[in-house]
Structure 1
Amino acid sequence: MMPLAASISQGSLCGMAAAEEAAPVAGEFKGTKLRTEELKSRISPFIRPEGLGHETVYPVGWRHPGAGIRSLAAPTAPATQPLKISKECSQFTGDTPSFCTITESNLEAIPAGTKILYYGPVITNPLFSSSNAVIAVGNGDSALGYCIVYESASPPLGTCAFHAGSGTLAGFQAIVKVTVDDKQIWHWDGGYVLGATQAAK
């Protein structure tokens, strides 16, 4: 059995050796964190040059998988043309369909005398109307949309949007503000696009 003094001496030697090995590390970190410049120099091969902060760490030469892909621009909306239509609704009965008649239009493809047919579902409610609408020019020329009008407002106010058409109105899209004057003439003011080229008056 090793004498106690020898055991203590050997243990002390082992402890001293371990301390000597750890001295560089302990000296490096003792008392404070690494200085920023020192830290920069150690990890600079892995960070972007903007600085430390909270940047994501990337290996040198790494590229984002989408770096070589051009961004896809959103399709450009077609330019709209002004649309102005007036209509009178003296023959509007509340039946399905009921209709109003166009009295003025700045679009040649929708002439005066054209009927606008309303198919509901809500066309007799005193508070508001909410209805499918068809601009029926005749001979297969028509456009399909939807109208909502706040009937109990003073004066009434609404919006119509059209999303499809046929014949001379093929590709017709429009959105208009709906108002009514003191002579009970209703007015549509907005913009439209048309698939086939049609001249406005």
Structure 2
Amino acid sequence: MKNNNLVGILLFLLLVFSCSEKQKLEEKTEKTAVTILIQPFKDIKSENVEKVAAGIKKVYPNIQVLEAIDFLGNTYYKERNRYRADSIIKFLNSRTKDGFVTIGLTSKDISATRGKIKDFGIMGLGYRPGKACVASMFRLSKENSDEQFYKIAIHELGHTQGLPHCPEKMCFMRDAEGKNPTNEETDFCKKCKAFLINKNWKFNSI
């Protein structure tokens, strides 16, 4: 009889301990989960922003869409009629508090220095890891631009989480290598997806 009581007490203590550890883990997860801020610039149409936001929300529900702001005049590179992506994300980074990541959305042509090329046209750029990135619609195909734009946005957000470029051709994290391979991309590969799941991303709705 005494043994039964002892077993019962031990099981009760084990249950209490397990619940306590589970609660601590959930609290820790809530604290480490960031909020993605979607910052459109006024040059981009609201319907394009809505479609990208809807796509991101399927894999990362904790998002906020901000009011559109004016484009930054000091990022303009007159010689090529482009806007410097590195300057854009520096600006966004300066406005982003800890616990948040900001992605800027634009239809402008953006560029960055790549190797010996001072002004290389790109579709997006993001700090890895970091709190800011930017995605542009300028170089996308017209027939399915919203789908491609989502893929560019999710790619740059992946960089902010710490993901590098991926060798898998179907993965959203592949290196564009100066082209537009988004029509070949279908999803994050298993390795990239596992990495993002550890960052509180959700993929059960895809």
**Same fold, TM-score > 0.5, yes or no:** no
Q: Which has the larger radius of gyration?
A: 1
Structure number with the higher helix fraction is: 2
- TM-score, normalised relative to structure 2: 0.28
Higher relative contact order (CA 8 A, sep 6+): 2
Structure number with the higher strand fraction is: 1
